[in-house]
A and B are shown apart, each in its own frame.
Chain A
Amino acid sequence: MIDDVRGRSVAVLGLLAVWWFVGGTVAAGLPTPPAVAVAFGDALTDPSFAESAATSAARVYVSFAVAAALAIPIGLFAGWHGPFADLTMPAVELLRPVPPIAWVPAVILLLPGTEPGIVFITFLGAFFPILLNALEGARGVDREYAKAARSLGADAPATVYHVALPGAMPSIATGLYVGMGLAWINLVAAEMLAGGTGLGYVTWSAYTGGSYPYIVVGMLSIGILGVLSSAAVRQLDRWLVPWSHGVGT
Chain B
Amino acid sequence: MSSDTGATAVGGRGRIEIDGLTKAYGSGGDRIVAVDGVDLTVEPGEFVAVLGPSGCGKSTILECVAGYFEPTAGSVRVDGEPVSGPGPDRGVVFQENRLFPWKTVRENVAFGPEMRGRPTDGVDGLLERMGIAEFADAYPGQLSGGMAQRAELARLLANEPSIMLMDEPFSALDAMTRERMQVESLSAWRETAATTLFVTHDVEEAIFLADRVVVVSARPGRVKTVVDVPLDRPRRHDVRTSEAFTSLKGELLASIHGEAGVEFAEPSSPQGGGDRRTGPRRPEP
Contacts and interface: CB of A to CB of B under 8 A. Distances in A.
B98 A248 contact: no
Interface string A127-160: 0000000000000000011011111111100100
A152 B102 contact: no
Interface in B96-120: 96, 98, 100-103, 111-112, 115-116
A72 to B, nearest CB: 16
Contact of B142 (A144, A149, A150, A246): A246
B245 interface: no
Contacts of A150: 67, 85-87
B111 A167 contact: no
Q: How many residues of B sit at the interface, in one of the four size bands?
A: 20 to 34
Contacts of B102: 166-167, 169, 241, 243
A8 interface: no
A144 B112 CA distance: 16
Interface string B148-189: 000000010001000000000000000000000000000000
A162 B138 CA distance: 18
A151 B66 contact: yes
A164 to B, nearest CB: 11
B115 A243 contact: no
Contact of B115 (A154, A167, A241): A154
Nearest to B116: A153
B86 A151 contact: yes
A93 to B, nearest CB: 29
Contacts of A208: none
Interface string A46-76: 0000000000000000000000000000000
Contacts of B86: 147, 150-151
B142 A152 contact: no
Contacts of A243: 101-103, 139, 141
B92 interface: yes
A153 B115 contact: yes
A149 to B, nearest CB: 7
B67 to A, nearest CB: 8
Contacts of B92: 147-148, 151
B68 A147 contact: yes
Contacts of A151: 66-67, 86-88, 90-92
Interface string B204-240: 0000000000000000000000000000000000000
A235 interface: no
Tell me whether chain A's interface is mostly helix, strand or loop, or mixed: helix
Interface residues of A, number: 23
Contacts of B142: 246-249
A216 interface: no
Contacts of B103: 162, 166, 243
B207 to A, nearest CB: 27
Interface string A236-249: 00000101001111
A158 B88 contact: no
Nearest to A169: B102
A199 interface: no
A231 B86 CA distance: 43
Nearest to B138: A246
Given A148-B94, A249-B141, A162 B88 contact: no
Interface string A206-249: 00000000000000000000000000000000000101001111
A162 B96 CA distance: 20
Interface in B63-103: 66-68, 85-88, 90-92, 94, 96, 98, 100-103
Contacts of B91: 151-152
A163 interface: yes
Contacts of A166: 100, 102-103
Interface core residue of A145, A147, A241, A248 (most chain B CB under 10 Å): A147
B139 A163 contact: no
Interface string B245-277: 000000000000000000000000000000000
Nearest to A243: B139
Given A145-B100, A151-B92, 7 more contacts: A148-B100, A150-B86, A151-B88, A153-B116, A166-B103, A243-B102, A249-B142
**Which 3 A-B pairs rank lowest in CB-CB distance, beginning with the nearest?**
A153-B88, A249-B141, A166-B102
5 contacts: A147-B86, A148-B98, A151-B66, A155-B115, A167-B102
